[in-house]
Amino acid sequence: MPEADLSWLTWLVFLPAAAAALLLVVPARWVEAQRWVALFGAAGTLSVSLCVAVGYDDAVGRQLGTTGRPGHAATARLDSRADFAAANSAKAVPEYRSDDWVARRPWIDRFDAEYALGVDGISLPLVILTALVTLLAVAASWTIDKSVKAYLVLILLLESGVLGAFLALDLFLFYVFYEVMLLPMYVLIGLWGGGRRRFAALKFVLYTLVGSVGLLVAVIALYSVDVRDFVPQERVASEVADLRKRNPTLSAEAAAEKVEVHTFDFVTLAKAGRAVMLILSGQEERLAAKTDPRDPAGGAQGGPVKLFAVGVDPAAAAARLKAQPICTPNMQYLLFVLLFVGFAVKVPIVPFHSWLPDAHVEAPTPVSMILAGVLLKLGGYGLIRFAFPICPWAANELAWWVGLIGVVGIVYGALVAMGQTDFKKLLAYSSVSHMGFVVLGLASWSAGSGAQYWEWGVGGAVFQMVAHGITASALFFAVGVVYDRAHHRDLNRLGGLYEPMPAYSGLAAVLFFASMGLPGLCGFVGEFTVLTAAWNYAPGLAIPAVLSVILTAAYLLWAWQRVYFGTNPATKGFPELSAREAAVLVPFAALAVLLGVWPGLIMRWLDPSVAGWVENLAALKL
């Protein structure tokens, strides 16, 4: 019987690409049919994502049970499930489970790259957000009339790339999906954008390539790490046997010493990174201590930590690890900086942000929706999934500086947004400010009794990504609605929209206030939890972030007044929202309210996974 979770996750990633392939055979003159094929393909992807959510929720619910704090169950952690799946697939007769929502298959044997997909409470909300925003962006694309087939194909291929990046457990596979997104976005901006579209597209590509090169260097460096002591020893034995077949004169001991195992598996690399942190922080004895068998993935604060594979001598394994370049402060700093910069460009973090306003201004409205709602989240997700777990020592050492970068982004983005007269540019700099909260939440590294606050920070960072994805996508669409009628985005020439468009103005008000962080709406939850964590970690970082809330309210309220209040003969005759436009805006506004009054809708997935993520890292710090 096929592995069910493998089938579901594969369909989730490649259904948009399959819809794009179907579009290619639709005759060019059937424009309306092309739009419906793309819409049904995006709707089918959203349906599959919701099925995955139900299956994951059921599986984790059964594994966690109803007793105890759910975040402390090893089965809720993606790394534990992925590690168990790797051990099973290393057996002579591989064992695959259909209920762990982790799937592994060999892909490129020469490099040990795997087709490895997995989902947890951190990636699942972002996957659903991607599917939802893409569906609504396709609906918003109904007015696109230039090369419709090519446009829709690129939108769907972009969705496949994003979903693959959110679900990949293999660094090489992640990098492939990460790069797949580059070409569709470049073409979408360069061909369907505004007057300076070529400049904006080129700037987007150059900035992204700078980050990608840093990421590629880090991936290559990580692949060079010998992880033989962190993988199932059946695999090492197989490598030894193969080596002795090629060199019959080698003894078993000599062959064992020569064998090295290299991998792109982020779970294995994260285990190596945690071991490096214990060694560099003078806690090597915790690697050799006997671990509580009830906690197979890690230990309590200051207690033993089981990272090496079963059957490995901890002292010998630690010695082998210390002999490698990765177990040096300089290499840890270098790898973390490379990963951080690689993902910072996508967040975007100041000073790697300047491509974003140009891209937003020139991109068509549906592409801006995807760019703000989905693509920016890949940077934050990469920091959570890869940068911090793989290089925890450097992340801990540089945490305050990372938090400072986040605060600079928050304040700088808000200040620059206040000076904008282009509606889209204002929202672009608003995105820079809001995504700074994500970086600040991740950087609020606390241990011991303060680990609870770090959970709040990381959970708030993910929630902020989801909330910003909803509000930013909706607000960019709201700008597109105005542009379709006024044919400009100058805030000084707009105004008086409430009179001819009351329904549109009401929905926009909900989204403006949600972006502002008003209690009861989605933007408040993530910002509040991040600020609470930051205050516990470093009040000096939290204070300017808290004060920036005033700046955010100032520029958003000012923009709201200039666009919707007063009277304006130039806008008096604008028609109200069409049924299609309402079908796009209403779901966004409803979600902004729903997640504000019921954040548990996402937190039920998020809390156990974030708690496990924090447990793995906070336990390393004394």
Mean pLDDT of 421-428: 92
Considering only 106-115, 305-314, 317-326, 599-608, which range has the smallest mean pLDDT? Answer: 305-314
pLDDT value at residue 290: 52
Please provide the average confidence, as pLDDT, over all residues in the chain: 88
Q: Which residues pair with 170 in a beta bridge?
A: 265
pLDDT at 294: 38
Query: By the 8 A CB rule, do 602 and 528 touch?
Result: no
- In this predicted structure, the answer to whether residue 75 has a pLDDT above a threshold of 80 is no
CB 418 within 8 A of CB 438: no
* pLDDT higher than 70, residue 1: no
Alpha carbon distances (Å) from 182 to 19, 100, 483 = 20, 31, 27
Q: What percent of the chain has pLDDT over 70?
A: 94
Stretch 101-111: mean pLDDT = 87
Residue-wise pLDDT tens digits, 570-599: 888 899 999 999 999 999 999 999 999 999
| 336-to-12, 82, 123, 175, 193 alpha-carbon distances in Å | 31, 23, 21, 16, 35
Please state the pTM of the whole predicted model.
0.93
Q: Measured between alpha carbons, how far is residue 613 from residues 174, 230, 332 in Å?
A: 19, 19, 20
Spell out the residues 6+ positions from residue 44 whose beta carbon is closer than 8 angstroms to its own.
15, 19
Token readout for 462 is: 């993910």
User: Which region among 168-172, 281-285, 394-398, 536-540 has the lowest average model confidence (pLDDT)?
Assistant: 281-285
pLDDT of residue 524: 94
Query: Residue 137 pLDDT more than 60?
Result: yes
pLDDT exceeds 80 at position 51: yes
Helix or strand holding residue 163 (H, E): helix 148-167
What span, in angstroms and rounded, lies between the C-alpha atoms of 570 and 496? 9
DSSP 8-state assignment for residue 431: H
CB proximity list for 216: less than 8 A, separation 6 or greater: 175
Q: Which of 420, 449, 339 lies closest to 387 in space, CA to CA?
A: 339
The 3-state DSSP class for residue 213 equals helix
Query: How far is 449 from 456, CA to CA, in rounded Å?
Result: 13
Rounded Cα–Cα distance for residues 584 and 380 (Å): 26
Q: Which residue has the higher pLDDT, 355 or 58?
A: 355
Q: How far is residue 334's CA from residue 595's CA, in Å, rounded to a whole number?
A: 39
- Residue 536's CB: how many other CB atoms inside 10 A? 18
3-state secondary structure 84-143: HHHHHHCCCCCCCCCCCCEEEEEEEHHHCEEEEEECCCCHHHHHHHHHHHHHHHHHHHHH
Q: What is the pLDDT of residue 64?
A: 52
CA 56 to chain centre: 18
Q: What percent of the chain has pLDDT over 90?
A: 58
pLDDT (mean) for 230-245: 79
Range of weakest confidence among 71-80, 218-227, 504-513? 71-80
